[in-house]
Amino acid sequence: MPSRTTTIAGLIVSAGSGWWWRRMRHVNPYRPVLERITLALPAGASALSGLRIGFITDIHAGPFIDGDDVRRMVDLVGAGSPDLVLLGGDFVSESPRHLGGVMPVLGELCRNSPLGGIAVLGNHDIFVSAPRVTASLEGQGIRVLRNEAAEIRWNGGIFWVVGIDETLHGHPLPDQAFSAVPVGAAALALWHEPEFAGQAAERGAFAQLSGHTHGGQMRVPGLRPAWLPRHGRKNIIGINVVGGMPVYTSRGAGVYRPPFRLNCPPEVTLVTLD
């Protein structure tokens, strides 16, 4: 028969485990934080210094993320008064019926930003319904880039947002995506997966913004995350340098299966060009 001390110790461990489980499942995924980063501009693009970009990716509206959660994400970014909003894909998971809770909120943020909003699709978007996700974004005035580039003019300067199609269910064509960008022009790549950032660097991008990995969702110090998606096993989190180009991989604003986060809070990002 276990001693009283052993029984008490077991109860403490059990209670502690339950507390951690509740935090990881019901608290941590729903407390997004605003990360602020600065990306260096290439030579000749100094007129763009100070431009603020709100970056949101991997919302995953669906069984674990609803409209109220999206509102918290958007309010964090909106407080930073971005000039432009870039959206990195995976807006929805499992069913297009969840789009109604996310798109009007994103549309409001983009309309309140002087330069509007630009998006690429993620693998979940294409798997669920690329046409419906695209139509929902465009219905909010958000331009969707699939292997194409958008010219952005600000403060007398010009740069290009180059949207490359995602790599799991899409058809990424980097050459086509960069084809409209003039030689030597400042180009910022927007690509859902971070793993192939070297291809954007080879084509002259000064930086890339990505998502997809969720930062691993569960991070134990000193260990590589146990869960990482295909095409998300390089440049997993934060700023990495590939081919001389910084690629920033967001931890993602939402959560998906398994719906846990540990030492890896959801994020939205305010990027300043300098």
Residue 16: pLDDT band (50, 70, 90) is low
Residue 2 has pLDDT above 80, yes or no: no
Any domain includes 23: no
Residue 258 falls inside a structural domain: yes
Mean pLDDT of 12-26: 64
Report yes or no on 10 lying in a domain: no
* Whole-number Å distance between alpha carbons of 219 and 141: 37
Q: What's the mean per-residue pLDDT of the chain?
A: 93
Instruction: Return contacts of 20-23, CB within 8 angstroms, 24+ apart.
Output: none
Sign of dihedral through CA atoms 179, 184, 188, 189? positive
Considering just the CA atoms, what is the radius of gyration of the chain in Å?
A: 20
pLDDT reading at 129 higher than 50:
yes
Q: How far is Cα 236 from Cα 210, in angstroms, rounded to an integer?
A: 10
For residue 16, tell me if it sits in a domain. no
* Owning domain of residue 201: 31-273
Q: What is the mean pLDDT of the segment spanning 243-249?
A: 98
Q: State what percent of residues in the chain have pLDDT above 70.
A: 94
Q: Could you report the per-residue pLDDT of 222-232, keeping only the tens digit for each?
A: 888 988 999 99
Q: 112 near 141, Cβ under 8 Å?
A: no
Looking at the 3D structure of the chain, how many domains does it have?
1
Nearest 5°: the CA angle 189, 234, 132 is 55
Vertex 207: Cα angle to 202 and 209 (nearest 5): 115
Angle in degrees, 0-180, between the axes of helices 103-111 and 123-139, rounded to the nearest 10? 60
- Assess if residue 15 is contained within a domain: no
Rounded CA-CA distance 157/172 in Å is 28
pLDDT value of position 181? 98
Query: In this predicted structure, what is the pLDDT of residue 226?
Result: 80
Is residue 8 in some structural domain? no
Mean pLDDT confidence for 240-263: 96
The candidate with the shortest Cα–Cα distance to 105, out of 59, 145, 63, is 59
81 or 21, which is more confident? 81
Measured from the Cβ of residue 220, the count of other Cβ atoms closer than 10 Å reads 12
Given this model, what pLDDT does residue 10 score? 40
* CATH number assigned to the domain comprising residue 49: 3.60.21.10
Region 67-83: mean pLDDT is: 97
Looking at residue 23, what is its pLDDT?
A: 80
Question: Is 5 within a domain?
Answer: no
Strand, helix or coil for residue 196: coil
Q: Which residue do the tokens 């339950």 mark? A: 18
Question: Does residue 171 lie within any of the structural domains?
Answer: yes
Do 235 and 249 meet the contact criterion of CB atoms below 8 Å apart?
yes
Q: Sorting pLDDT into bands at 50, 70 and 90, what band is 11? A: very low
Token digits of residue 210: 């990505």
Q: What angle do CA 247, 53, 253 make, to 5 degrees?
A: 70
What pLDDT does 7 receive?
Answer: 42
Mean pLDDT of 6-28: 59
Mean pLDDT computed over 233-256: 97
pLDDT of amino acid 103? 97
157-215 tens-digit pLDDT: 999 999 999 999 999 999 999 999 999 999 999 999 999 999 999 999 999 999 999 99
Percent of the chain scoring above 90 in pLDDT: 85
